[in-house]
Amino acid sequence: MKFTKLTSTVLAGATVLSILAPTASFAATSTQGSADAKTNDNGGTKLPQNDHTEVGISFGDNSSNGNTGFLRLQMVPHTLDFGNHKLIDDSKLDFTADGKNESLSTNNTKGSFDGTDANQTATLKTGTDTALDAVKGTAWATVVDKQVTRVDPMNGVPDTTDPANPKPTSGFHTGTDNKAGSWKLSVQSTNALTAVDNNDPSQPIVDEAGKTEEIAGAKLTFTDTQYAQTQNVLGLTKDKNDSTYAKDLAGLATAPTAKAVGSYSKSISTSLAANGTDITVATAAAGEGQGANVFGWMPTNIKLTMPAGAEVSNAVYKANLTWTLSSTVA
């Protein structure tokens, strides 16, 4: 018994000693050595070393269409999402761009046409720019008009050596000036609602006979158009094309008076069909529309009306719109 007790005491003492005993140490790469490749402390590589992490989050539709110019179409609704539904009820044919079957909530299954819950109709976040309050939360189209900052208009006679292709001899073409306005925004249907390939929704599905499945007679309507105008163009677009607008505007000898676009349609409607009618959304006369002009619609005011008696499959149906900004200068 004494032997056992003694052994236990010795082992305990050995344990304490092992904790207190000094351990071997190894020198780290020295500050001097890592800064001087000659010492080769770090294999000839200097310290400190750096790498980077990117942290990202986005809000809304902020993709650029690549357009440039003093006058440009900066944004249109890229997707109008009318949702996923069980069926078509001939007494409830209106669907809204927030993914709902109007007056028939029991028919709604998913918020998006692609079967996901998140509706893809993007709406405008306006930040702190109170000039845009009227279009906050809308699906929107933007025309940027910076023509007042254009310089060196051509006053000379154009080179008409090739009558079919006259060329300016300096600056800008005859008739061009540095006033805002003289433009039109319009929209037209490109094709009918067409069943698309589930694996590649950018392509229509074609049967053995080479035919596509289309829904004839569907109609798209935008009602209660909202309009706003801002001179904080960069604040809205976040586009480097607009990074000098405020400076260019401030540098003008005479500050122009910004006037609102005088004419825009409060309601527009188009049948979804190939080569649809070009429908005017807004027209800016000379002197109107300086800065960024935003035309917006609440998703509940964008309606897709299906034709009565339409036969549909378990499929995604898509149609396309073409928006056009054109100059009305003769």
Would you say residue 150 lies in a domain? yes
Would you say residue 86 lies in a domain? no
282 falls in which pLDDT band (50, 70, 90)?
Answer: very high
State pLDDT tens for residues 168-200.
666 677 678 889 999 999 999 999 999 999 888
Instruction: Note the pLDDT of residue 26.
Output: 54
Task: Collect contacts of 31-37 with beta carbons under 8 A, ≥24 apart.
Answer: none
| Mean pLDDT, rounded, for 136-147 | 97
Instruction: Note the pLDDT of residue 198.
Output: 84
**Percent of the chain, pLDDT > 70?**
85
How far apart are alpha carbons 97 and 299 in whole angstroms? 5
- Decide if 259 contacts 290 (C-beta within 8 A): yes
Would you say residue 139 lies in a domain? yes
Would you say residue 97 lies in a domain? no
State pLDDT tens for residues 255-269.
899 999 999 999 999
Number of domains in the chain: 1
Would you say residue 223 lies in a domain? yes
3-state DSSP assignment of residue 249 = helix
The yes-or-no verdict on residue 9 having pLDDT over 90 is: no
Would you say residue 84 lies in a domain? no
| Mean pLDDT, rounded, for 191-217 | 91
55 falls in which pLDDT band (50, 70, 90)?
Answer: confident
330 falls in which pLDDT band (50, 70, 90)?
Answer: low
The yes-or-no verdict on residue 50 having pLDDT over 70 is: yes
β-pair type (100-101, 94-96): antiparallel
β-pair type (302-305, 219-223): antiparallel
Would you say residue 75 lies in a domain? no
| Mean pLDDT, rounded, for 75-99 | 95
How far apart are alpha carbons 75 and 294 in whole angstroms? 9
175-192 burial: b if 16+ Cβ within 10 Å, else e: ebebbbbbbbbbbbbebb
49 falls in which pLDDT band (50, 70, 90)?
Answer: confident
Would you say residue 269 lies in a domain? yes
Q: How many residues does the chain have?
A: 330
The yes-or-no verdict on residue 16 having pLDDT over 60 is: no
Please provide the average confidence, as pLDDT, over all residues in the chain.
87
The residue range of the domain holding 286 is: 123-327
